């Protein structure tokens, strides 16, 4: 096993993928290009080399093992932990004409016989099975005679005891080497620290694997962390803000699931509950209702979600703190898998944190877990708590937790960077008062008691102990109790205070505490948006360009058609077409079947199956509303012909070799975006990066002089520290990208 795991995702040189592969990709899935991370993974798999792929949810992991399986002769075995996940993938593959089979306990006897006969025929390209079934030697012997060239292990973190969803049966998968000695083995997971990656390699017995780790950042997600106040009303606020869209609400306990579900339903929100205490049939019906978009919101414990493949989840709410940052990354990753904007809101409370620690430790002790595992779980909860309490960019905190660098100074998509929180002007003085109080009570009490003293509470216990005579008594009596508690925990999150003990933790000072007390360090305290609800805060993530140009009425009509087709075929709607496909069709409004092939995500099989149905909807809508068809929303001109897009490995920093020369020439952003096959937003991002690397003489080609003057005048009026005040001062009429570009150029000139 290698001693280290590379955090960089792509080796040089990356193996070349044959043109014939791209022809198949276009024909089957309707894509001309791959993301750089997909390209590296697929190249490694086609090469037959063991591989570990760590790619965030929504990054296109499944295509990495599906496309090579269709391209090559023989069979690929896909190991998946959940039946729902297997079923969705098999349904999706059948929709594009791929012979895929799943073997699981839900199949009837005739279905199992048909599946077995199909496997014996040697025509099955992909076989989906659970790890438990593969542990059965009889089943493995049944596969003898098939040319198994690839074993793809989905959710590979389940093999590691250090992972966030350890499953002992995964550890038996290394024995498959003996049965299929010629097969390459590939692990796929969305979240894995370096420690977990090493354990996966060891437990699966991967041989000199290529380790490909994509960026953990999900720029289309907006993260917010807020203190719990009226939790049910706060959850309703988020649901109302996204009314009509799909969302998941995670609760800590079963009783919370039931009470929140009941509350939302009484408030007119389409919601369904899901937890392990329900019968199998009840859980199945709840899951199907959410997947088929019969209901909008699933309220659930963490038992829900791992097998959920619905791509258009627009929000995820955590009603309490998750078990770990890995859990949080995995669970929030179920939002915005289609790449469109989505919001993730976490409502945090100390009470839930303490309850979670007790539940987790009790469960591990009951299961006979070793002491180091119990200790690790405690540390993971504390790391999650620190994330909630520390006022730093949420995207940066998540990316750096997984050992990667975050280059952006501001993400523009979290509560901290959007200005949903305000810096406390007297943070240093307030922190000194809090720390002094901890010192005065001799570091013998917890958060609540220290807060009581600072507020000047006349409780019996405070008076009995004579703590009303302390110099710190009542020093912060003007601060609301909830706010003061939050500031104490912010200091804990920044490492300026420590909590010792588990059941009744007490506050302790450390070296950082003393640095603040003596004036040598400057702490940062923020006020969370405690007086606003998620309903009053707009999502921050920029919409996709297709979304910005889409015909909303046409999009809704096509969603109805998609839902009806899905109901007839008994598959989830996204299996027919994703929201992205419908958005692009509603933006371009193709007038012919050939024109529909210009939409990414429409291959020949789906065109033949559904093209005419959706074409009729588009034609009728355009005729009734007198809107033009065959629109190129990138150029604002009519398409001359439905030409296939050129094949290119797209996305990421690799496209800077294309965009940088054109930016230096001063070409229009839209022209650069089209030629590089990226969004205008990506080109702007590249321009900002270029400005940090070398001087740019002028931005007049990209931002009119009058617009520059307007932005600078607004910045003069409200300051330049944050973008949001400027955006609000300009009445939201100037995009964030233009403001960021202007201020970056201004700083370069100083």
* CATH fourth-level superfamily of 221-401: P-loop containing nucleotide triphosphate hydrolases (3.40.50.300)
640 — pLDDT class (breaks 50, 70, 90): very low
287 — pLDDT class (breaks 50, 70, 90): confident
pLDDT of residue 11: 43
For residue 101, the surrounding DSSP H or E stretch is strand 100-102
For residue 563, the surrounding DSSP H or E stretch is helix 552-569
pLDDT of residue 656: 64
Structure tokens at 244: 């009509």
408 — pLDDT class (breaks 50, 70, 90): confident
User: What are the residue boundaries of the structural domains of the chain, listed by start?
Assistant: 19-213, 221-401, 422-527, 545-638, 653-749
Fold topology of 545-638:
DNA polymerase; domain 1 (1.10.150)
**Out of 246-250, 307-311, 713-717, which region has the weakest mean confidence (pLDDT)?**
307-311
Has residue 404 got a pLDDT over 90? no
Q: What percent of the chain has pLDDT over 90?
A: 33
What's the mean pLDDT when you consider all of the chain? 83
Structure tokens at 712: 């600078």
Q: CB–CB of 285/313 below 8 Å?
A: no
Has residue 325 got a pLDDT over 60? yes
User: What's the mean pLDDT in 539-543?
Assistant: 44
Q: pLDDT (tens digit, 9 = 90+) per residue, 17-59? A: 888 898 889 888 888 888 888 999 999 999 999 999 998 877 7
Q: CB–CB of 578/60 below 8 Å?
A: no
**Out of 66-75, 133-142, 644-653, which region has the weakest mean confidence (pLDDT)?**
644-653
684 — pLDDT class (breaks 50, 70, 90): confident
pLDDT of residue 459: 93
Structure tokens at 634: 């990138």
Q: Closest Cα partner for 375 from 356, 360, 359, 389?
A: 360
Backbone phi and psi for residue 526, each to the nearest 5 degrees, phi listed first: -125, 155
pLDDT of residue 67: 94
**Out of 51-60, 239-248, 365-374, 445-454, which region has the weakest mean confidence (pLDDT)?**
365-374
**Out of 109-118, 478-487, 690-699, which region has the weakest mean confidence (pLDDT)?**
690-699
Q: Scan for tokens 């993260």, then name that residue.
A: 223
Domain 653-749 class, CATH top level: mainly alpha
**Out of 79-88, 321-330, 450-459, 585-594, which region has the weakest mean confidence (pLDDT)?**
79-88
637 — pLDDT class (breaks 50, 70, 90): very low
Coil, helix or strand at residue 38: helix
Has residue 410 got a pLDDT over 50? yes
**Out of 248-257, 441-450, 474-483, 502-511, which region has the weakest mean confidence (pLDDT)?**
502-511
Q: Scan for tokens 């897009």, then name that residue.
A: 645
750 — pLDDT class (breaks 50, 70, 90): low
Q: Closest Cα partner for 451 from 427, 414, 480?
A: 480
Has residue 4 got a pLDDT over 60? no
Higher pLDDT, 655 or 273: 273
pLDDT of residue 272: 94
* Whether the domain at 221-401 and the domain at 422-527 fall into the same CATH topology: no
Q: pLDDT (tens digit, 9 = 90+) per residue, 118-140? A: 988 888 999 999 888 887 888 88
* CATH architecture entry for 19-213: 3-Layer(aba) Sandwich (3.40)
Coil, helix or strand at residue 128: strand
Handedness of CA 204, 210, 215, 220 (dihedral sign): negative
422-527 CATH choice from 3.40.50.970, 1.10.10.10, 3.40.50.1000, 2.70.70.10: 1.10.10.10
Instruction: In whole angstroms, give the CA distance from residue 508 to residue 408.
Output: 34
Peptide bond just before 13 cis, omega within 30 deg: yes
DSSP state for residue 422 in the 8-state scheme? E
Other C-beta atoms closer than 10 Å to the C-beta of 244 total 10
Q: Scan for tokens 């529909």, then name that residue.
A: 596
pLDDT of residue 414: 92
pTM of the model: 0.69
Coil, helix or strand at residue 630: coil
- 508 forms beta bridges with 498
């Amino acid at each position: 096993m290698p001693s280290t795991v590379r955090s960089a995702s792509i080796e040089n040189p990356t193996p070349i993928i044959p043109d014939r592969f791209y022809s198949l990709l276009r024909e089957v899935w309707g894509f001309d290009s791959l993301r750089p991370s997909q390209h590296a993974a697929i190249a490694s798999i086609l090469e037959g080399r063991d591989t570990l792929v760590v790619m965030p949810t929504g990054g296109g992991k499944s295509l990495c093992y599906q496309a090579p399986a269709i391209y090559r002769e023989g069979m690929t075995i896909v190991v998946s932990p959940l039946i729902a996940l297997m079923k969705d993938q098999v349904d999706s593959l059948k929709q594009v004409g791929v012979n895929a089979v799943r073997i699981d306990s839900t199949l009837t006897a005739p279905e199992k016989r048909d599946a077995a006969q199909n496997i014996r025929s040697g025509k099955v390209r992909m076989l989906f099975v659970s790890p438990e079934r593969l542990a059965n030697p009889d089943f493995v012997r049944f596969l003898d005679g098939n040319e198994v060239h690839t074993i793809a292990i989905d959710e590979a973190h389940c093999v590691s005891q250090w992972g966030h969803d350890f499953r002992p049966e995964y550890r038996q998968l290394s024995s498959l080497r003996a049965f299929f000695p010629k097969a390459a083995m590939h692990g796929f997971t969305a979240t894995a620290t370096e420690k977990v990656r090493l354990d996966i390699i060891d437990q699966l017995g991967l041989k000199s694997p290529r380790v490909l780790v994509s960026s953990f950042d999900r720029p289309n997600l907006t993260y917010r962390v807020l203190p719990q106040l009226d939790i049910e009303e706060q959850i309703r606020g988020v649901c109302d803000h996204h009314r009509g869209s799909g969302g998941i609400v995670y609760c800590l306990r079963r009783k919370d699931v039931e009470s929140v579900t009941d509350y939302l339903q009484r408030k007119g929100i389409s919601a369904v509950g899901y937890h392990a205490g329900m019968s199998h049939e009840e859980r199945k019906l709840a899951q199907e209702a959410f997947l088929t978009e019969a209901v909008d919101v699933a309220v659930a414990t963490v038992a829900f979600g791992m097998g959920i493949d619905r791509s258009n989840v627009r929000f995820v709410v955590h009603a309490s703190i998750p078990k770990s940052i890995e859990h949080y990354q995995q669970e929030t990753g179920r939002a915005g898998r289609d790449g469109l904007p989505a919001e993730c809101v976490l409502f945090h409370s100390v009470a839930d944190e303490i309850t979670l620690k007790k539940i987790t430790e009790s469960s591990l002790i009951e299961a006979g877990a070793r002491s180091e595992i119990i200790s690790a779980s405690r540390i993971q909860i504390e790391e999650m708590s620190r994330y909630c309490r520390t006022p730093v960019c949420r995207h940066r905190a998540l990316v750096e937790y997984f050992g990667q660098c975050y280059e952006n100074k501001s993400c523009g998509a979290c509560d901290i960077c959007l200005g949903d929180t305000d810096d406390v002007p007297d943070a240093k003085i307030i922190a000194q008062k809090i720390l002094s109080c901890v010192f005065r009570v001799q570091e013998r009490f917890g958060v609540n008691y220290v807060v009581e003293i600072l507020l000047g509470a006349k409780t019996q216990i405070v008076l009995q102990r004579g703590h009303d005579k302390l110099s710190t008594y009542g020093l912060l009596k003007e601060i609301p109790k909830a706010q003061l508690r939050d500031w104490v925990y912010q200091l804990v999150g920044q490492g300026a205070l420590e909590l010792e003990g588990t059941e009744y933790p007490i506050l302790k000072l450390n070296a950082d505490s003393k640095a603040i007390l003596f004036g040598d360090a400057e702490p940062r305290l923020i006020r969370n948006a405690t007086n606003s609800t998620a309903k009053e805060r707009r999502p921050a993530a920029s919409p996709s360009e297709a979304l910005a140009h889409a015909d909303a009425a046409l999009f809704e009509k096509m969603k109805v058609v998609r839902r009806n087709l899905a109901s007839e075929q008994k598959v989830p709607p996204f299996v027919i077409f994703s929201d992205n496909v419908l958005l692009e069709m509603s933006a371009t409004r193709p007038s012919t079947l050939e024109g529909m092939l210009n939409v990414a995500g429409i291959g020949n099989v789906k065109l033949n199956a559904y093209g005419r149905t959706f074409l009729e909807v588009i034609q009728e809508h355009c005729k009734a509303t007198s809107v033009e068809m065959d629109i190129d929303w990138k150029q604002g001109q009519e398409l001359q012909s439905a030409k296939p897009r050129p094949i290119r490995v797209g996305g990421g920093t690799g496209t800077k070799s294309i965009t940088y020369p054109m930016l230096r020439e001063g070409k229009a952003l839209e022209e650069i975006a089209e030629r590089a096959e990226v969004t205008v937003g990506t080109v702007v991002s590249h321009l900002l990066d270029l400005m940090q690397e070398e001087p740019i003489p002028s931005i007049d080609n990209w931002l009119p002089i009058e617009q520059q003057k307007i932005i600078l005048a607004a910045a003069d009026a409200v300051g330049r520290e944050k973008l949001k005040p400027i955006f609000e001062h300009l009445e939201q009429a100037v995009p964030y990208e233009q403001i960021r570009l202007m201020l970056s150029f201004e700083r370069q000139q100083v």
